């Protein structure tokens, strides 16, 4: 599955600045940055994964509360481009687009990739780490 996912992400590389695929609990599965031609830094990948999972959860809940049907995507417009968060079955795709050139064709490519990724049986590459350092927020351990 890893090889198939890698090929899907590399096909997107002509249209995006970077992409991260995460599971719906917020753990990274795979990332790719065409500029660096390698995965994104692990710490940044973990942060993006957690934020995207939270945004997805909020977006799904908002769609439900407003009775607007199933969640499809979130688009965040920035000064330097756009960030797209797409549902991909058991995963989430987070793609950073550097410019608005070819936005519609890029979005179509991302939606096609999301459908392909949804058919894969993916698992995260990271287990939640227990850190000895204090966290920004308190999360109680429940046995």
Residue 123's CB is within 10 A of a number of other CB atoms, namely 12
Contact 72, 86 (CB under 8 A): yes
CA distance 112 to 41: 26
CA distance 86 to 59: 11
Quote the pTM value. 0.76
- Domains of the chain are 2-119 (3.30.450.30)
- State residue 42's pLDDT score: 84
**Average pLDDT along the chain:** 79
> What's the pLDDT tens digit per position in 80-107?
888 899 988 888 899 988 766 677 888 8
- State residue 66's pLDDT score: 93
Share above pLDDT 70 across residues of the chain, in percent, rounded to a whole number: 78
Contact 106, 96 (CB under 8 A): no
């Amino acid at each position: 599955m890893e090889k198939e996912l890698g090929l899907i992400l590399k096909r997107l590389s002509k249209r995006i600045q970077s992409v991260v695929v995460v599971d719906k609990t917020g753990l990274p599965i795979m990332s790719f940055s065409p500029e660096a031609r390698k995965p994104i830094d692990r710490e940044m990948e973990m942060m993006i994964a957690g934020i995207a999972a939270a945004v997805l959860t909020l977006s799904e809940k908002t769609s439900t509360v407003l009775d607007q049907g199933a969640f499809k995507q979130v688009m965040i417009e920035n000064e330097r481009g756009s960030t797209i968060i797409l549902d991909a079955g058991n995963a989430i795709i987070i793609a950073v687009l550097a410019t608005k050139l070819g936005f519609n064709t890029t979005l179509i490519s991302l939606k096609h990739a999301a459908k392909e990724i949804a058919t894969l049986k993916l698992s995260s590459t990271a287990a939640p780490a227990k850190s000895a350092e204090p966290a920004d927020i308190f999360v109680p351990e429940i046995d």
